[in-house]
Structure formats: structure tokens, C-alpha cells
Chains A and B, each alone.
Chain A
Amino acid sequence: MVSTPQLEPSKHQLAEFIHRLEAGEALLRDSPEHVLEVVGILKSYGVVLDAYSNNLIYIADHQFLVLFPLFKYFNGEINPGKILKFLWHDRINYEYAEYCMKSMFWHGGGGLDTYLDSPEFLEAIKPVIKARFKLNPLMLGLDRVFPDFLPEQIRQSAYYSGLGQFWRVMSDIFIDLSDRYDAGEIKTIPEVVDHILQGLVADASRPITYTVNIGGQDYDIIPKSANLTFLMDTAVPYVEAVFFRGTPFLGTVSYNAQAYQIPMFQGDFAYGALYADPLPIGCSGIPPTLLMQDMRHYLPDYLTEVYRQSLRKEEDLRIQICETFQKSMFCVTTAALQGLAPHPLTTDDLEEQKANRSYLEGWMNRFTKSRILQANAE
């Protein structure tokens, strides 16, 4: 009998998860409860992302270089009723979308970041600034004195647009997932992951462009020729910036950088969605509270019912949502890991397996301090 050479079990601290991924499973343990929770939360996330995405694109397109964007969250619909509702905070917290955008902008990465720092970009925006402030000599003068200010604002607008376009796709993927679940087509966590992966792959090469209209004329801020695509230039930087790196929440981490209480290098930051502690949700200075607050309005009934069974019932709803949300993000991350792997993770080829193993172990090093164990807890 000829024995086929087999890969040794990994000795990594998180070997369990490596083996799981190699077996075609997900970072999140498969169970009917997890499927229900993840699909339910991604449904409400999809609804919220739709609103975030619309607003981000609205801000990018219609609040472009507006010096005092007082009504940027109104999507152009300004009336006393809406203002009152806004002040009463009975609204979607678009601030969270901006928080993610800024996180992405700050951490950079991917083709979008590279393009926005290129001479082509600076060339491309010169006529835009001129057109935008042609009746405002003060701003043009200030632009001369501080030539980096307006380009930086435009870079930020580009990120508004980029994240808006990314979330547009994600929102549709999540809503579709929910519809398929309702239709009985999704029953396991690997199926959830596969759905997300297929969605990402389908739109992988979708171009990311950004055009503003000033005085009736269109200006390309990110032209098609920049060759920016959905997967590598927005999705991957987003996962890196928001899922992994993130930023420490105010009041939860000491900022005494001299005592090395935060990492020396931005790349070592580990405060993202996969690492964040859900417990402080609801405290001041904890931005994801806004997302949880928004999602609670769109929870499917079956998920609300799960939360009602808990000890504190709906009193700690936002923390419960956050815990579930973290679980779902491990599914999205699994899809990303599968998509970016050098070879299909379930390959039988030993060489490919080896390459995958080193790829996965590299990633798992970053998961050691994540909430992966808590997300998988019974």
C-alpha cells in the first residue's frame, strides 16, 4: 500500500483554526445557533450599510469641499421635521461610517492609498480646486499658502466615495444572504462564508472610480485609468484597517506612547473589529456603540427573540449585538482569507497545502490576541 505524503499537523498556538480552515470550515464554529445569529445580524448590518453607503456617496458627491458641511447627514433632504428628528437622535448614526472611513484613510494600504499619494492625483485635482473655488479668491490664496490642505480634503472625499462603493456591494451581499437563508438555502456557517466569498469574487474587479460634478462639468478624481478595483483596493484595505488594526477606543487604552502602551508601529495596531472588547459598548467614546445602536432597529424577529432569552434580556442588547457582530466578522474574515489564499484551502496537493499552511500560520499570528476564542466559546 502506498501512503500519500501528508502535511504534519500545525504546531501553531491557534492550530485548531488552521486545521479548520484547511478542512473547508470557517473561523467560527459551525452550529445552527451561529448560523441564525450570523445571518440575522448580517441582515440588519446590510440594511444599515445600505444607509451608510448612500450617505458616504452623497457626502463624496454633493458635499465635496463644502467648508461647513452642516447638513451632510441629511442626504439632501432638509426640512424642519428631519432636523428635529436628527437633533432627537432618532436617526442612523452616520458618524460611525465616517469613523470607519477615517480609520481606513489613516491606515491606508492598497491601490487607493497609493494612487491618492501619486503625482497623477495631484495633477488631476488642480483643475477641480480651481473650478470649485473660482469665485472664492480667499480659498485659492489659502491653497497657495497651504498647498497640502485641499488635496488632503479631496483624499478624504475619495475615501468617502471608496468606502461607500465598497459597502454598496457588501450591503447587497448581506441582504442576499438573508434572503437565501429565509428561502432555506443557507444552513451552515461554511455556506455563509461561501456566499460572502462568491459575492466578493463576483465583484472583485469592479472598478472604483470617483467623479464630481462642479458647475455642470464632471471632474474625475479617481479615473477609470487608475485601475482601482473593488477587492484589492477597497475590500482588502478595509479589512486590514477596520477588522485588524482599528484605533483604540477613547478611555479604554492608555495613550502613554512613551511607556509603549500602544504599539510603536501603525502596522502593529490590533484594535479592530476582531479584537475589540464588546463590553464597553454603550460607554462614551466607544464608536461601535453607534453601529450597534443602528443595527438594533433592523434586527430580524428571530434574532431579537434569541436576545430576549438572555439573562439581562434587552438591557444589554447592544453588547449582545456586538458579540454576535464579532462572530459574523470572523465569517467575513474567513471569506477574505479563502479568497486571498495562494491556493484553494482544501487542496489535495501537498505543495499547495504547504504554501497554504505558511499563509495561514502567518495570518494566525495576527489572531492570537483577537477575540477568536471568545467568539467560539460555547
Chain B
Amino acid sequence: MLSVLVWFPLFGVLLLALLPKSIDANKYARSVALVVAGLVFAWTVYIAVLFNPKQVTMQFGEFVPWIKAIGLNYHLAVDGLSLPLLGLNSLLTFIAIWSTDPEVERPRFYYALMLLLNSSVAGAFLAQDVLLFFLFYELEIIPLYFLIAIWGGARRSYAATKFLLYTAFSGIVLLATFLGIVWLSGASSFAYEPLRAIIVGASDTPSGLTLKLQLILMVGILLGFGIKIPFFPLHTWLPDAHVEASTPVSVLLAGVLLKLGTYGLLRYGVGLLPDAWVYLGPWLAVWAAVSALYGTSCAISQQDMKKVVAYASIAHMAFILLAAAASTELSMIAAVCQMVSHGLISALLFLLVGVVYKKTGSRDMFFLRGLLNPERGLPLVGSMMILGVMASAGIPGMVGFISEFLTFRGSYPIFPVQTLFCMLATGLTAVYFLLMINRVFFGRLPDELEPIPPVKWSDRLPAAILVVLIFLLGIQPNYIVRWSETQIAALIPYNPRPPQIMITNIPDQSMATVSSPIVAASPQIEITN
């Protein structure tokens, strides 16, 4: 069942490779890729329908022994953490393919890489074996490297190489860390659940990983995934990669690929090294705040629209670290929400910046002006950009509000100061995005910008779908929260910090309640030690 998500895109790759040269490859490659991506998305929806959100354990497990000698198995399963990200992956892949210029060069190779990317990311989200995760994690670098290096902008080879160096280093560090975790914990294979059972279940006994070992290994996890997400000061590859990547690749990069990092942090950082995670929690929250404020201040000073969105992305990804560091049930749900929300919003913003660039040939905020002109500008694209910006700044009614509110509400009781700094960063979102909107979209359209070619509905529709989703999930947040709220609890470190208020579920209520002084005496709040 889950294998379809990994293998069907690969089947698409094969199909593209086998397209006879005699037919119009441009036309057919795109159609094949769209159909495959569409079916993958439909299959993801089908899985979501069958998925039981109330079940705490992994679902739809598929297990095939692979290389017994090194303890590597092909083991896939899905839970409340990975399902929303799988949905994001298949939706954004479809949208990225759809928004690709139909006249793209070397279409067969391009679309094959897109599908390969989709397959490897799905594999990474589904892998129940740390080595298998690592394989998919590494596999995903290859198509992305080519997608930037071949179809990128002027400095594409620089950006692609930088991306490759950073993420390859991230991969090496992660491999070392995973090997360390497995060997030091005395596990017999790379299987995730048994490994977690050994570490988490036995941590009170001397046979578990000691805090010191966990801390050493945690450095590897933080470094490896910190590059991928990325956090300050490991982020420098990202703005370059975004600026040089074509629009659909930026959409996937921001929308999905960065989530591999945060997913890994939650699954392997929080999940496998809970003692170290809890121990480092306050400092991780500080890191989140620094990263958020750094991304924000960089975004304020940018001139290239794409760089603004890229730095905004860095700032908003940091909120996931804050939520994960707080490790309350609410904040963990918030982390998942923020991943989905950031995926949708940053994909939307990159899509729209892409349309602006395609139509005007510029992303320069000091050149572009007046694009909201109703007849000769890009009024609908501009309006959607304003909506995207509002969503990113956390305006109620849109998904950004839900995820940011959950993040801050979930993290504030644990790390008030760090949370306040992150809130400052989200407040400043309005500053850099409004500067951008004001410069690019308001005012009089300059004469030299007047010959803007007509915008087709095919340029607008992919973004419009994301706008609808951003509103839908903003008005009905339950559609994201329901997948994770039961299962995410299993990830929370078993040994939380000294006395603190834990959050528990009210069975009839879809959203987790939060600890607050007002309800502190209510029976749903338990004080744990």
C-alpha cells in the first residue's frame, strides 16, 4: 500500500525514460508526469481516508528483509507525523509539475527528476529503518542537485554545488550519528521502533544510552538536520539555492524538502535521544529564537523578492524547532501544523514570485512597482501574494495563524523568553513582507513595466489551489490536527523537565487543550514530575 508512494513515481520515471523519441516528448512527458503525480496524490488521499487517527502505533506497515548482514530492511509505515507531510509532498509535487513551464528544456529528464524527488522524499517519510531513511535522504539530493544545476539561473552551478556540499555533509554526519546510535545502544538492526524501545524503554537502566552519549549523538542530529532545515548559521546554502532554482524547484525545496530536516529532528532527535533533547531544550529554544530573528532581519534587508521569501522561510522553520524543543503535546502538534502551514505558504509565495518573475523578468524590489494595477499589472497574482503574506504573518482565518498560535501557546509555558523572541520575529514578518508588497505591488506601474504579457489561468490556478487550502485549514484547523493529535503524544520525551504542566486530551474535543492558569485546576491537567 505505502510502497505505491515510493514505487509508482519510479514507474513514472521508467515510463518517461521509455517514451519513444519519435513522439513529441515535450507534450507527453509533461502529461505523463502530471498523471503520475496526480495518481500519487490520489493514492495519498486514499491512504489518509483509511488511516485511523486514533491508533497510536504505526499503520500500514510493509516489511521486506533486505540485507540481513548489515541489519537493513525495507520497512515502511505511516503515522500522524508523516502522513501530513506525505500529503504535502504529493500535493506540492503535482503543483510543481503543473506550474512548470510547458516549454521546459530536456523535459523527459526534468520530469523524471521531479518524480524521483517525490519518490525519495516519500520513502524518507515512510522509512521505519534509520538506514533506509538515510538512503532515501541521500537519494533525494541527487535529483535536486540536477534540478538546480541544469534548470537554474545564472549562478546555478555555484548554488547547486554549495547545496550538494552542505547536504552531503549533512548526510555524512547523519550516517555517523545513526551508526553511533545503533552501535552504542546495542541494537541488533537499524529498525526504528526496536531501537527506540531500547533507548526509551531502558533509559532508567544502565544499558540505555547515557545522557552524555546522547548529547554527543545529538550534536550530529542537530548538525545534520540543522543544515537541511536550515538553522542559522548553517543556512547559507538555502538563499543561493532558492534564488538560482526555477520556481517549481523552489516550491518543492521550501514546501517539502526542508521538512525532511524538521521531520528528522522530531523522529530521530526527539524520538531517539529524548534525554539529550530535554536537557538541551532551553538552548534549542534559544537557537530557534536566534534563527528566527536572524532570518527576519536578513529578510528585511533583501532586495530580491525570492531572497525575502527564502529568509522568511528560515525564520518560520525556526518556529518548528521552538515547538519541538518545548515538547508539550500541544507544541508537538504545533510543530506538525507549522510544517504543513509553512509548506503551503512558502510554496504559494514562491509560486507567485515565480509568476512575477516570469511576466516582468525581474524580482528586484526597487525596480518592480505598481503590479496591482487592475488592467496592465498582475492584480490577481498580487492579491494572492497579499493573502500569502497575511497567512505568513499569522493573520487569523488562515493556516499560518493556527500553526503560529499553537506554537507560541504550546511553547510559552515552557520557554517564555524564547517564545517571546520568536513572537517578535513573527511580528516582524509583517515588516519585511509589507515592505515587499508596498514596493512591488502598490504605486503607479512604471512605463517600462507596462508591457507585461497576459497572465493565463494556468499561471494562477496552482497558486489559487494553495490559497484555498490555506483558508480551508485556517478556518478548519482540525483537518491538519486530527492526524497527529493522538499519535504525536508517543513522541514526547518520556521524562519531561522537573514539575511542569502537561497537556492532555479531552476526548470529545478535537484540539488539545492548553495549560493555562484559568484551567489549571481542571481535572484534564495533570502535574507530572
**Interface residues in chain A, defined as those with a beta carbon under 8 Å from any beta carbon in chain B:** 252, 277, 279-283, 311-313, 315-319
Q: Which of chain B's residues have a CB closer than 8 A to the CB of A311?
A: 451-454
Question: How far apart are the CA atoms of A315 and B376 in the complex, in Å?
Answer: 8
What residues of B have a CB within 8 angstroms of the CB of A281 in the complex? 375
- Min C-beta distance of A310 to chain B, whole Å: 10
- Establish whether residues B453 and A319, one from each chain, have CB atoms under 8 Å apart when the complex forms: no
B window 442-457: CB within 8 A of A: 444-445, 450-454
Please name 18 further chain A to chain B contacts, defined as beta carbons within 8 Å, in addition to the given A283-B373, A318-B375, sorted by A numbering: A277-B444, A279-B373, A279-B444, A279-B445, A280-B373, A280-B444, A281-B375, A282-B375, A283-B374, A311-B451, A311-B452, A311-B453, A311-B454, A312-B375, A312-B376, A312-B453, A312-B454, A317-B375
Q: Could you tell me the distance in whole angstroms from the C-beta of B446 to the nearest C-beta in chain A?
A: 10
* CB-defined contacts of B374 to chain A, threshold 8 Å: 282-283
Chain B residues near A252: list those with CB within 8 A: 444
Q: Which of A279, A282, A318 is the most central at the interface, judged by chain B CB atoms within 10 Å of its CB?
A: A279
CB-CB under 8 A from B373, the residues of chain A are 279-280, 282-283
Interface residues of B in 149-190 (CB under 8 A from A): none
CB pair A316 B451 closer than 8 Å: no
Contact A316 B376 (CB under 8 A): yes
Q: By the criterion CB–CB under 8 Å, are A279 and B454 in contact?
A: no
Bound CA span A319–B453, Å: 15
Overall SS of chain A's interface: loop
Complex Cα–Cα for A309 and B65 (A): 65
Per the 8 Å Cβ criterion, residues 329-374 of B in contact with A are 373-374
14 A-B pairs whose Cβ atoms sit less than 8 Å apart in the complex = A252-B444, A279-B373, A279-B376, A279-B450, A280-B373, A280-B444, A282-B373, A283-B374, A311-B454, A312-B453, A313-B454, A316-B375, A318-B375, A319-B375
Interface string of B174-210 (1 = CB under 8 A from A): 0000000000000000000000000000000000000
Q: Is the CB of A312 within 8 A of B444?
A: no
Chain B, Cβ-Cβ closest to A277: B444
Q: How far is the CB of B445 from chain A (nearest CB, A)?
A: 6
CB of B450 to closest CB in A, whole Å: 8
Q: State in angstroms the CA–CA spacing of A277 and B451 once bound together.
A: 16
Which residues of A have CB within 8 Å of B376?
Answer: 279, 312, 316, 319
Closest to B372 in A: A283
Residue of A nearest to B450 (CB): A279
Chain B residues within an 8 Å CB radius of A318: 375
User: Which residues from B are CB-within-8-Å of A279?
Assistant: 373, 376, 444-445, 450
Question: What residue in chain B is nearest A289 (Cβ atoms)?
Answer: B374
B contact residues around A319 at 8 Å (CB): 375-376
User: How far, in angstroms, from A283 to B445 measured CA to CA in the complex?
Assistant: 12
The docked-state distance in angstroms from the alpha carbon of A317 to that of B376 is 9
- The residue in B374, B375, B376, B452 that gathers the most chain A C-beta atoms within 10 A of its C-beta is B375
A contact residues around B375 at 8 Å (CB): 281-282, 312, 315-319
Q: Provide the bound-state CA to CA distance between A291 and B452, in Å.
A: 24
Name the distance in Å between A18's Cβ and chain B's nearest Cβ. Answer: 26
CA separation between A282 and B451, bound complex, in Å?
17
Complex: A317 Cα to B375 Cα, angstroms:
8
Q: A residues within 8 A CB of B452?
A: 311-312
B374 closest partner in A (C-beta): A282
Q: How far is the CA of A252 from the CA of B453 in the complex (A)?
A: 25
CA gap between A279 and B446 in the complex, in Å: 10
Which residues of A are found within 8 Å of B453, using beta-carbon distances? 311-312
Q: Who on chain B is nearest to A292 by CB?
A: B375
Query: Among residues 367 to 423 in chain B, which have CB atoms less than 8 Å away from a CB atom of chain A?
Result: 373-376
Q: List the A side residues contacting B444 at CB < 8 Å.
A: 252, 277, 279-280
Q: Complex: how many Å from CA A277 to CA B450? A: 13
Specify the chain B residue showing the minimal Cβ separation from A284.
B374
Q: Which residues of B contact A316 (CB under 8 A)?
A: 375-376
Q: Who on chain B is nearest to A374 by CB? A: B447
Which residues on the B side are within 8 Å of A315 (C-beta)? 375, 454
Cα of A316 to Cα of B451 in the assembled complex, Å: 11
A51 to chain B, nearest CB (A): 24
Residues on the A chain within 8 Å of B445, using CB? 279
Interface centre among B373, B376, B451, B453 (most CB of A within 10 A): B376
Q: Which 4 A-B pairs have the closest CB atoms?
A: A282-B374, A316-B375, A282-B375, A319-B375
For the complex formed, measure the closest distance between the CB of A295 and the CB atoms of chain B, giving whole angstroms: 14
Please, which residues of chain A bring their CB within 8 A of the CB of B450?
Answer: 279
How long is the Cα–Cα vector from A283 to B382 in the complex, in angstroms? 14
Please report the C-alpha to C-alpha distance between residue A316 and residue B374 in the assembled complex, in whole angstroms: 8
Report the Cα distance A311→B454, complex, angstroms.
Answer: 7
CB of B381, distance to nearest CB on chain A (Å): 13
Chain A's closest residue to B451 (CB) is: A311
Which residue on chain B has the smallest CB distance to residue A313? B454
CB distance from B479 to the nearest CB of A (A): 35
> B residues within 8 A CB of A280?
373, 444
A316 to B450, CA, bound (A): 11
What is the minimal beta-carbon distance from A139 to any residue of chain B, in angstroms? 43
The complex places the Cα of A281 from the Cα of B374 at a distance, in Å, of 8
Closest Cβ–Cβ distance, residue B354 to chain A (whole Å): 20
Annotate B426-465 by CB proximity to A: 1 below 8 A, 0 otherwise: 0000000000000000001100001111100000000000
Question: In whole angstroms, what is the CA distance A375 to B256 when docked?
Answer: 51
Q: Chain A nearest CB: distance from B155 CB in Å? A: 31
- Note all chain B residues with C-beta closer than 8 A to A277: 444
Alpha-carbon separation in the docked complex, A279 to B451 (Å): 12
Kindly state the separation between the CA atoms of A317 and B451 in the bound complex, as whole angstroms: 14
Alpha-carbon distance A156/B454, docked complex (angstroms): 44
Closest CB in chain B relative to A253 CB, distance in Å: 11
In the complex, which residues of chain B have a beta carbon less than 8 angstroms from the beta carbon of A282?
A: 373-375
A283 neighbours in B (Cβ, 8 Å): 373-374
Complex Cα gap A314–B373 (Å)? 15
Interface string of B126-154 (1 = CB under 8 A from A): 00000000000000000000000000000
Instruction: Closest A residue to B375 by CB, please name it.
Output: A316
- Chain A residue with Cβ nearest B444: A279
Nearest Cβ distance between residue B361 and chain A, in whole angstroms? 14
State A281–B444 Cα separation when bound (angstroms). Answer: 11
Shortest C-beta distance, A171 to chain B (Å), equals: 27
Q: What's the Cα separation between A282 and B375 when bound, in Å?
A: 7
Query: CA separation between A256 and B320, bound complex, in Å?
Result: 47
Chain B residues in 8 Å Cβ range of A317: 375
Q: For the complex, what is the distance from the CA of A252 to the CA of B373, rounded to whole Å?
A: 12
Q: How far is the CA of A313 from the CA of B452 in the complex (A)?
A: 11
A311 to B450, CA, bound (A): 10
Nearest-CB residue, chain A, relative to B376: A316
Roughly how many angstroms separate A318 CA and B373 CA in the complex, as a whole number?
A: 12
What residues of B have a CB within 8 angstroms of the CB of A312 in the complex? Answer: 375-376, 452-454
Cα–Cα distance between A138 and B240 once the two chains are bound (Å): 76
Q: A313 to chain B: which residues have CB within 8 Å?
A: 454
Contacts of B454 in A (CB 8 A): 311-313, 315
Chain B, 53-86, contact with A by CB distance < 8 Å: what is the 0/1 string?
0000000000000000000000000000000000
Q: How far is the CA of A362 from the CA of B444 in the complex (A)?
A: 31
